[in-house]
Every structure is written in C-alpha cells, then in structure tokens.
Amino acid sequence: MLTNNKNVLNWVDEMVALCKPDQVVWIDGSEAQLNALREKSLASGELEKLNEEKLPGCYLHRTIPNDVARVEARTFICSRKEEDAGPTNNWCDPKEMYAKLTPMYDGVMKGRTMYVIPYSMGPIGSPLAKVGVELTDSIYVVLNMDIMTRMGKDAFANLGDTSNDFVRGLHSKADIDPENRYIVHFPEDNTIWSINSGYGGNVLLGKKCFALRIASYQGKNEGWMAEHMLILGIENPQGEVKYITAAFPSACGKTNLAMLVPPEVYAKQGYKVWCVGDDIAWLKPGEDGRLYAINPENGFFGVAPGTNEKSNPNALHSAMRDTIFTNVVHNLDDNTVWWEGLDKNPPANAVDWLGQPWNGKESTEKGAHPNSRFTAPARNCPCISSEFNNPKGVPVSAMIFGGRRAKTAPLVYQSFNWNHGVFVGSTMASETTAAATGAVGVVRRDPMAMLPFCGYHMGDYFKHWLEMGEKLGDKAPKIFNVNWFRTDDEGHFIWPGFGDNMRVLMWILDRCDGKADAVETAIGYEPKPEDINTDGLNIDLDVIKGLLNVDASLWKEEAKGIHEFYAKFGDRLPEELNKQLAALEKRLG
C-alpha cells in the first residue's frame, strides 16, 4: 500500500470486490516497476519496441479499429439534477447510470490484473494541484499516465491521510465493445467510470475527464478555473517573461502556438518563447490578486499527422524519446514510425495503423489514422518553460480566444473589458472545413473551446467567468480574440500564420503594458495597421488593413447566430451576456 488514507483504501477495496481481478498491483512510479510492465506488454504484443538508436525508449501501440477517438455520444455528465448538466451535455440520472454500469463491471477483471494508479494533476505539492486514483486493467493506460501525469506514490503527498478530495477513476477495457462503451462523469461524487475503450482520450482519465470535466465543476465550487487553454511565455531581450493563455477549437493551430518558434525578426533581437502547456490550464488568483496558471499535465498527447519539422519542430523533437506512438505507420526498414505530413518520403516497406502491410510510395490509402497520437514527456520539449514545475504557477497577462473564420473576425481585437471578453469567449466559433464531415463553411459555436468539456451547465459556466472577473477586478488579464484564418476571394489564407503569429502576440503584450495604441471599433479595440510588425514579411499595409476590416453586415448576421445560440441556455444565461449582445447590435447600428 502506498497510502494510509482510509478513503482511498476503502474505495479500492469496493472496486476490487466489484471487478474481481486476479491480482491488484499498486503503481509506485518506480522505473523498475515500469520496466517490468513494458516487458510484459512487449511479450503480449500490446507494444512494439522501436529503434533504440533513433527513437530511444519509444514504443508503438495499435488500438482496435472501432476505438480510435473520443466518443462524445457516449460521454455523460451524471449530475443529480438534469438541469445542472445543461443543454450541451448528455445527461443520465446517476442512480440509473450506476445501475446500468455496475453489472458491466461485475467480474470484468477476472483473469486480469487491476493496476492502482495514484497521480497528481499539477506539480507535486502545488496548492493548485489535485489528486486522482485510476484503477485500470490496461498496461497501456499505466504507461501513458506515467507520461501524462505525476504518477506514483509521491502523488499522495497532496492528499494526506484523511482528505477525501481525490478523483475516483475506474476503467476497464472489458471487450472493447462500441455498443457498450461509456465514459461517464459523476461530478458530485468526484467519480469517473470508463468501460469498453482502450483509446487514450477515453481512458487516460486524468486528461479531459478529470482535468476539464470534473475540474471545471470543482473550480466553480472552489473559486478557480479549469480551461481548455495553452499557456506560453514570451521572454524579451532583457529577460522579462510575460505569460498568455489561449483557447482554440480543434484544427486552429493550438499546439503550434503553444510551441511557437519566433520569426527571425524577433529571434535576432533575443526574444524567446517558452511552453508551459499545450492543452489545459488551471487558473487561480494568487496572493497578489493576479490570476496564476499551472498546466495540470506532465506530457503531450499530440495528434501525429501534420506534425513535422516545419509546422511544429518542438512537438516533433518532444516525441523523439520515451514516447508512445499510437496508430501510426511502422517503418519496417529501420524500425521507426511515419505519418502523413511528416515528410514527403512515405516508407515502401511498412505496416499501416491497422497492422496491414503498406507501401506508402504506391498506396492511395492513408497509413496513419487521422487521429493517430504521440504521448511524449513535456521535459523533452526544447522550449519547455523553466517555470513548468513552479508550484505557484505563472501570472497571466492576457487571455486569447480564437477560431477559424474566413471573413467575419479580424486578425486581432481586444475586448472593451472583462465582461465583454467573456461575451467574446462565449460566442467563439469556427467554420467547418473540408476535413470535417458535412457542409463546408457552417458556423460551429464552441464557447471558450469548452463545449465538449464543460462538466456542468454552460450558462452557470459563463456566470462563473463573470464572477471571476469581479474577484480579480483591475488585476484581471486582458482578453483578446484572434483569427489566423482570413481568406481572400480564392480561398487562400492571407496571414502567414505559424511563427509569424508572434507578431500579433507582441501587439497584445504591448496593449497589456499600455505601450500600444488601439482603434475603437464596433466589436472591440483593434491595432493600428502600422502597429503590427511586418518586418521581413512580404505584406503591405493595405493587406493588414484588410485583415483588420470589420464588415458590419457580416457582424449583424453573426449577432443573429449568437441570439440563436444563447436561446439554448434559457434563463440560466447570465443577463450580462444579453446586455453585451444588445450593446454590440447598437454599436453596429
């Protein structure tokens, strides 16, 4: 046993009695124990060892073809009252859900080992960190949780011997049966149950399940925030670092921004960019009244396709050692991995993500699954921040929302104040691209990029944001919106994106420091076109003016869409947001 905490021990005993494993192994996080588990996985074929010279400590894993992504239709928030889950979540009465799932778990681990995984979300000993315990019958889960969290006996340090404040996670692969696949959250019980999946997003219960769905509910009750946000620091030539958090829906370049490589114009002057987190931020007011952020995770669960030396060299280099690759191509010639978008040289002698022989030079079929992944330790990242393990977190100067809009949203604007910023975040949207199924150009609202991850009623979530603003007062971060995806009439992107997005971040930080002017528009404060640094870019001032143009007719359409979206939340929508919408319409004339 790694703890004397009776709450933990009693719960583990109950779950052992339910699942009936042949044996129970407590995971202490030691390298000896982990190596034994790796050897066991290699023997069973669950993992394959990759080239030790080229990819030291790296392994390949394949999931079953019916189990390759998060399943939102099978993800539930089981609050005691239906209205507390809200219109954007699947709800079921907790009593009913426990009654449905308990028989599925009954004896599910017979003939298997139950692994007891204690883990800390956030640095061990941090006042912002929280403890979880995941019970699983999957070695793959143990090895991934080792990368993604601070796993092992030290995780119990924050809990002590008496506290009951830990998240109870129960996972079984069972039969990997999609018809009986459930990822279920019981926010009032601090509990997550996942069954019939082996895919990371459904089974690494520290990730979206705890760090966002359960933690967002905890944050509302305890006065902090769990957000689907990256955290990055920009260091100026004098060595001062300012921190930014940013929320983007998928396919908007979030990881690329988190690990941004400064363009030459800034690199030559001595500017540096540091990654604190690529996906999730926990935010809490510090002793000085400012908002501080930690990354609750300890690794990156990145999408492989499209990651390459140009798009995201830092992510690629993070995955060069001690990484688990899932559902990518196995290059048999040198025992390495490959995926679409890595380079222009698909291997001729390979095995695809389904385990079938694959000749990438001749095949028209994709070799890697579009949602194939790498689980890589954050410590590998060349630009990981020295503050990554700071128990206090980092002070946040600016918060950014963004989406993919062809014409409506300008390159960047600042909200008038915190409440207006909450309005901007609550109306965040992206237009569907060809990559998503269905029609192209349909506006999909994804408030704060939290639509699939908010563990309670989204109207109450907006209210919590407004209350946090009151609490922070004039020390609140400034809120901005960006759009890297404006297109010309032929559909080509106008802004270069990638590292050049730093040019926009620099204006944002200048605004936070009171060093840059702005122009007031109907939607917020915009930069003067000449205040966006274009040195070294082949872009003239008129193009920047176009990128900042606010088309009132498009925004009037946008306002109609916001009315429709807000109607979903009924009387749980804070009145302040209706006022903000009315004020926008008035400014648009």
The pLDDT of residue 251: 82
Q: Is residue 61 part of a domain?
A: no
Could you tell me the CATH number of the domain that includes residue 253?
A: 3.90.228.20
Mean per-residue pLDDT, 19-37: 98
3-state secondary structure 205-272: CHHHHHHHHHHHHHHHHHCCEEECCEEEEEECCCCCEEEEEEECCCCCCHHHHHCCCCCHHHHCCCCE
Residue at token pair 């979030």: 254
Please tell me the distance from the alpha carbon of residue 573 to that of residue 567, in angstroms, as a whole number. Answer: 8
pLDDT, tens digit (0-9, with 9 covering 90-100), for 350-383: 999 999 999 999 999 999 999 999 999 999 999 9
Where is average pLDDT lowest: 396-410, 421-435, 467-481?
Answer: 421-435
**CA angle in degrees (0–180, nearest 5) for 470-471-477:** 80
Q: Is residue 238 part of a domain?
A: yes
The pLDDT of residue 434: 57
* 520 plus 406 within the same structural domain: yes
* 250 plus 106 within the same structural domain: no
The pLDDT of residue 432: 77
Q: Is residue 364 part of a domain?
A: no
- What backbone phi and psi angles, to 5 degrees, belong to 141? -65, -45
Q: Is residue 318 part of a domain?
A: no
The pLDDT of residue 433: 66
Final residue in a domain of this structure, among 198, 223, 248? 223
Q: Is residue 354 part of a domain?
A: no
pLDDT, tens digit (0-9, with 9 covering 90-100), for 494-545: 999 999 999 999 999 999 999 999 999 999 999 999 999 999 999 999 999 9
* 450 plus 580 within the same structural domain: yes
Write down the mean pLDDT value for the chain.
97
Q: Is residue 346 part of a domain?
A: no
Could you tell me the CATH number of the domain that includes residue 131?
A: 3.40.449.10
Please state, for a pLDDT cut of 90, what percent of the chain lies above it: 97
Q: Is residue 55 part of a domain?
A: no
Of the pLDDT bands very low, low, confident and very high (cuts 50, 70, 90), residue 14 is very high
What is the number of domains present in the chain? 2
* 457 plus 502 within the same structural domain: yes
* 201 plus 244 within the same structural domain: no
* 515 plus 547 within the same structural domain: yes
User: If DSSP codes are grouped into helix, strand and coil, which group holds residue 38?
Assistant: helix
Mean per-residue pLDDT, 466-482: 98
Instruction: Cite the beta strand spans of 236-364 per DSSP E.
Output: 241-247, 272-277, 281-285, 291-294, 299-303, 324-326, 329-331, 336-338, 350-351, 357-358
Please tell me the distance from the alpha carbon of residue 455 to that of residue 466, in angstroms, as a whole number. Answer: 17
Final residue in a domain of this structure, among 191, 207, 223? 223
The residues that bridge with 193 in the sheet, in sequence order, are: 170, 184
The pLDDT of residue 427: 98
Where is average pLDDT lowest: 251-255, 389-393, 571-575?
Answer: 251-255
Of the pLDDT bands very low, low, confident and very high (cuts 50, 70, 90), residue 438 is low
Q: Is residue 327 part of a domain?
A: no
pLDDT, tens digit (0-9, with 9 covering 90-100), for 113-142: 999 999 999 999 999 999 999 999 999 999
The pLDDT of residue 436: 46
Copy the structure tokens of residue 232. 């990055």
pLDDT, tens digit (0-9, with 9 covering 90-100), for 500-513: 999 999 999 999 99
* 279 plus 215 within the same structural domain: no
* 260 plus 404 within the same structural domain: yes
Annotated catalytic residues are 252
* 214 plus 234 within the same structural domain: no
* 204 plus 244 within the same structural domain: no
The pLDDT of residue 1: 84
pLDDT, tens digit (0-9, with 9 covering 90-100), for 187-243: 999 999 999 999 999 999 999 999 999 999 999 999 999 999 999 999 999 999 999
The residue type of 137 is D
Final residue in a domain of this structure, among 223, 238, 273? 223
Residue 264's domain comprises 227-298+386-588
* 434 plus 580 within the same structural domain: yes
Whether residue 437 is predicted with pLDDT greater than 60 in this model: the reply is no
* 142 plus 262 within the same structural domain: no
